[in-house]
Structure 1
């Protein structure tokens, strides 16, 4: 018991992450007791008997530097006790040497296992970071570049339809100019994304940015109405930037896939939350069909909402339009009263 108390005092003196982690403390104390058992069994057998380290479960992944500090202290504690209780003469020199050898091998085996485990942990973190970055680039390309390319394509597609039907081409110049503007924006967005820079300064005026995006949509496909209530200053620029991309994608999806006559966008900003509603009178959708879809638009919208600690809800009925609802908390502006 006094030996365990000495180990616990050593952990307390470390005052590090391991010392503050109850599960990690239990693991180290259990391993230290196993090492003492190895020494006792080795002395009884007259030869080294070192058991395999137990697999670590639960708690934080230990930094090898923290483990090394503990085992260094543990080695000193045990060695001092061996010297205190052993009469190192000719007869006891061999058992003493055996005990120190087992102590050394037991500690080094655990340090080796810890290094391997921690290396795997770091590789997993690197892999997660790579996946996160890949997903981020996917979102940026889809929302920032894809929107403008899709807009340019739709403008040119409608121009081709009008020409094939022999319709009046008086509005052709406007369509071509809108398509050219969209292509320029796509090129600018792509350059910014591929150089690892922010696409642009975060949106500071949500209403202005949304109206600009809606104006680029083909005029004869749907009427888009925007209503913003509340003070935009209550929402940080970074939040408005992400909300802008989510709303723009929701409207684009409605116009392209739902073929509605009217899309209504409502943005309501309060000191503690931001809510968005996007409703259209288009074709709607079948929930089962949506779940099987391969498009990334909806998944990207959800990821952006989750990044803001918000939620995104999409509902619709085939033939009766679609309803999209976004909720984003604004805790830094919350009124405790």
Structure 2
């Protein structure tokens, strides 16, 4: 969970009058199960399985005097991206659509009152029910939590050769007075209704006087459409030096640093109403100061099926990210629409 998020959720429940809420602290179980795991789809499946195991144990303890059912907040995009509808391909498995959950659904053990609704429809329902505005318009947070916002790596170098593609990319970027490099990591995307797992690339302007969101949007679309190996673009306010690929796993110290960076960025952006969601992602890349790189991804959306980039004022972006840079970390800005990039990187 994000910094203080569990406390905030319990506070909301208390204010709504719920008295029988029990918070299960299961982080240690997840960290043990996910130790050394780097594949994003494997992470999601393991998280979903452990979620069911923990839920079953708790339900068993609670249901001594009668049978209980598990209620999930599944919404329609979860089922689509998990490939659970007749015409949908698997993009990424949501924790509420792993095989263990599907078995419970078939046995009638799960209630999902929102499963046919999109996010904007859920918010309309929340208004009808009179729920607090702050609760209705919280930024969506993925079921697997911060586990999928740490891009894990078990390598310190890559055997893939994308120099030719990088040269082609810079030929395209020249038109926009920009330059860039392809990064030695991968992220999940969606193109033509199918899952992609390709490289992100980072781009920046040769001179800040050329900087504009019109150029950024156009170059992002053109690069991803023309290059087969790139499915996501991120933007840097300044030129990017050498970035070193490092091993990175789901470990307490990495989660703690991600929580800190995420909280710093959210404290400055939570009140920007146009931002529908803003994942903050930890990358297995270190800058020259041996500090980790991060990506902020503020997007605008209605239903989570598609999303556009939030075009933040460049001076505000510099101000917001200055605190991160003072810590020595490097921060990038995701400039990829959905599609072709999923909102989450994994």
TM-score of the superposed pair, with normalisation by structure 1? 0.22
Which structure has greater helix proportion? 1
Greater relative contact order (CA < 8 Å, ≥ 6 in sequence): 2
* Pair member with larger Rg: 1
Which structure has greater strand proportion? 2
TM-score of the superposed pair, with normalisation by structure 2? 0.22
